[in-house]
Amino acid sequence: MAAAAGYLAIALLLLSVAPLSAAKPNILFMMADQLRADLIAAAGNNITKTPNVDRLAREGVMFRNAFSSTPTCTPARAAILTGKKPWNHGMLGYGAVAKQYPYEMPRAMAEDGYYTKSIGKDHFGWDKNLNEGISHGYMDTDLYDGLTEEFDDYDQWFNKTNPGVNPMATGLTWNDYRGRPYALPEYYHPTAWVGRAAVDFLDNYNRSEPFMLKVSFHRPHSPYDPPKRLMDIYNVSDMPAPYQGSNWDNRFAIKYNTTPSPGIWCGDIGLDVVKHSRQAYYGSVTFVDEWVGHILGALQQRGWLESTLILFTADHGDMIGDHYHFRKGFPYEGSAHIPMLIRWPDTMTTKNHGPVTVSRGIIREEPVELRDLFPTFLDAAASRPSKPLDGQSLLNLLSDNVTDGQWREYVDLEHDVCYNVTNHWNALTDGHMKYVFRAYFGDEQLFDLDNDPHEMTNLAGNATWEKPLELWRSRMVKQFQEEGRGPDWVSPDGKLMRRIKGQLYSPNYPRK
């Protein structure tokens, strides 16, 4: 009996450290909210401290030209859920994620044999009758959406452990441009709560099926409130000044006679204020990175690093004062350009191109987008989508055999009216050029991102750039025509139409 018990103990120990499935890898999907692409040190930022995300770039692939097509929280998450572009999933701006879509990523992964778990921000809504978040196919959720009108899992935990304490004691609002150190013990910070929950999941997971774990940090989304120790590792004097264009953004340089509202979306608030905000934003990024490190450590401790596909990204960026803009919802790099990194198991085989052949640590230049996550996860599970998707598997780009024509040339971006009736636009980019049609003004912008990565100079109207401008304009006309957007968007003779009023949802948005 003693010997049998000993063999059983050894078997259980081996099970706890062995890959959970020889056929399908585990999937660790981590994302940060409002994290711009250039805040990752591996992307070339010599100020920020992100050693753990940098590890993913070093041991995997970083996609230099990754974008969020509709760069605010809810439509970006609809793209992740559905694998669709904005017109096809139906959210053209900051609306409500539909209660259910015809084909959803977590539900499909669960049907494919995965145990699906979501920790942190989903932004799917809260079912007050069931006292739980709307799941969209996640089998279990521990939610912190950062919304004052919702009472999610974090809020319930905080109020139980800190009765009578204000979780917003730092004194900042949810869309604040200001930054301050977190006023409460670090243990209670939402970033720490999300990170601990992820580590706990990995430490205790003992099911037989592979897991798909989504870890969605609310920060560095405002409030910019990192622990003081992390805010202090950055010097205000080292913070980069915001980019200000040479010929197009002065209309947004509003001068405030008094202290502006914390939730302003544009304006000239002075260099010192912007730099202090950036100091707190940078500290928030590093706090997320620390917890990414703890999560990777827990994965490695279980022996699962080489049986897990790891993907890290963001739902959108943050302008943090560039071009006199704040937060997100804009076509510009700070808002729409996001980090995207993948680390794959040594045994990873792609469905279309065979074994991974690219070297770890390389950078891919192809334009990728959040719609590509759903097909990527299906591909990792050796599955094919049961319904058409607009996205493509990023695993296809882990092969040296990818040739011209096998990946998209460019990606479409857009956002309905956000913050102000004038902020209403469509855009296209391949990561080298960017074309923007500002619907309210009915005018165009063209940026040469290779030579002007910070979008300082609008080339529309420059005779030298007339041909490229015509090419990008014709691509947008073609997109609208193929999608059947109608005469409010493009005239019968192929002219882009000025649109004063917005359109939040397309006809493809699920209404039931």
pLDDT at residue 495 greater than cutoff 70: yes
Q: Which residues pair with 364 in a beta bridge?
A: 63
- Report pLDDT for 85: 98
Region label for 34, one of left (φ > 0), alpha (ψ between -120 and 50) or beta (otherwise): left
pLDDT at residue 23 greater than cutoff 70: yes
Pairing of strands 140-143, 354-355: unpaired
pLDDT at residue 7 greater than cutoff 70: no
Neighbouring residues of 443: CB distance < 8 A, sequence distance ≥ 6: 437, 460
pLDDT at residue 5 greater than cutoff 50: no
- Residue at 462 is within a domain: yes
Active-site entry in 89, 123, 221, 276? 123
CB 316 within 8 A of CB 73: yes
75-90 burial: b if 16+ Cβ within 10 Å, else e: bbbbbbbbbbbbbbbb
Percent of the chain residues topping a pLDDT of 90: 85
pLDDT at residue 4 greater than cutoff 50: no
- Boundary of a domain, candidates 354, 383, 411: 411
Rounded Cα distance, 233 and 228, in Å: 9
- Residue at 89 is within a domain: yes
324 and 353 co-located in one domain: yes
Residue among 80, 39, 20, 12 nearest 306 (CA):
20
358 and 439 co-located in one domain: no
- Summarize the confidence of residues 176-191 as an average pLDDT: 98
Rounded Cα distance, 38 and 181, in Å: 23
pLDDT at residue 165 greater than cutoff 60: yes
Q: Write the pLDDT tens digit of every residue in 25-84.
A: 999 999 999 999 999 999 999 999 999 999 999 999 999 999 999 999 999 999 999 999
Q: Write the pLDDT tens digit of every residue in 368-392.
A: 999 999 999 999 998 999 999 999 9
User: What CATH number should be reported for the domain holding residue 424?
Assistant: 3.30.1120
- Report pLDDT for 8: 38
Cis peptide before 223 (omega within 30 of 0): yes
Q: Write the pLDDT tens digit of every residue in 394-444.
A: 999 998 776 667 899 999 999 999 999 999 999 999 999 999 999 999 999
- Boundary of a domain, candidates 386, 411, 436: 411
Rounded Cα distance, 201 and 206, in Å: 10
- Boundary of a domain, candidates 368, 395, 411: 411
The residue with tokens 């585990």 is: 26
- Residue at 373 is within a domain: yes
Cis peptide before 220 (omega within 30 of 0): yes
User: What CATH number should be reported for the domain holding residue 144?
Assistant: 3.40.720.10
- Residue at 505 is within a domain: no
What does R_g of the chain's alpha carbons equal in angstroms?
23
Residue among 355, 438, 339, 432 nearest 398 (CA):
355
Q: Given strand 26-33, what is the order of strands in its sheet?
A: 140-143, 115-120, 211-220, 26-33, 308-314, 340-343, 61-63, 362-364
Q: How confident is the model at residue 18 (pLDDT cuts 50, 70, 90)?
A: very low
- Residue at 503 is within a domain: no
- Report pLDDT for 16: 39
Rounded Cα distance, 358 and 265, in Å: 42
175 and 123 co-located in one domain: yes
pLDDT at residue 2 greater than cutoff 70: no
Q: Which amino acid is at 326?
A: F
- Residue at 506 is within a domain: no
Q: How confident is the model at residue 19 (pLDDT cuts 50, 70, 90)?
A: very low
pLDDT at residue 21 greater than cutoff 70: no
User: Where are the strands (E) in 37-168, listed by range?
Assistant: 61-63, 66-67, 115-120, 126-127, 132-133, 140-143
- Report pLDDT for 351: 63
CB atoms within 10 A of CB 183: 15
- Report pLDDT for 12: 39
421 and 275 co-located in one domain: no
Residue 21, CA distances (Å) to 92, 141, 200, 220, 413 in order: 39, 23, 20, 34, 38
pLDDT at residue 20 greater than cutoff 90: no
404 and 460 co-located in one domain: no
Region label for 356, one of left (φ > 0), alpha (ψ between -120 and 50) or beta (otherwise): beta
- Residue at 469 is within a domain: yes
- Residue at 512 is within a domain: no
6 and 140 co-located in one domain: yes
By residue count, the chain amounts to 512
73 is catalytic: yes
pLDDT at residue 22 greater than cutoff 60: no
Can you state the angle between helices 190-204 and 153-161, rounded to 10 degrees? Answer: 100
- Summarize the confidence of residues 303-318 as an average pLDDT: 97
CB 315 within 8 A of CB 122: no
pLDDT at residue 357 greater than cutoff 90: no
- Report pLDDT for 347: 78
402 and 439 co-located in one domain: no
Q: How many CA atoms lie within 13 A of 1 on its CB side?
A: 0
Q: pLDDT averaged over the chain?
A: 92
- Report pLDDT for 6: 41
Show the domain range for 112.
2-411
* Total structural domains within the chain: 2
Q: Write the pLDDT tens digit of every residue in 99-127.
A: 999 999 999 999 999 999 999 999 887 77
Active-site entry in 73, 136, 276, 418? 73
248 and 387 co-located in one domain: yes
394 and 346 co-located in one domain: yes
Residue among 306, 307, 237 nearest 278 (CA):
237
419 and 405 co-located in one domain: no
- Report pLDDT for 126: 74
427 and 355 co-located in one domain: no
- The dihedrals phi and psi of 494, each to the nearest 5 degrees, come to 85, 30
Q: Which amino acid is at 111?
A: E
299 and 363 co-located in one domain: yes
pLDDT at residue 254 greater than cutoff 60: yes
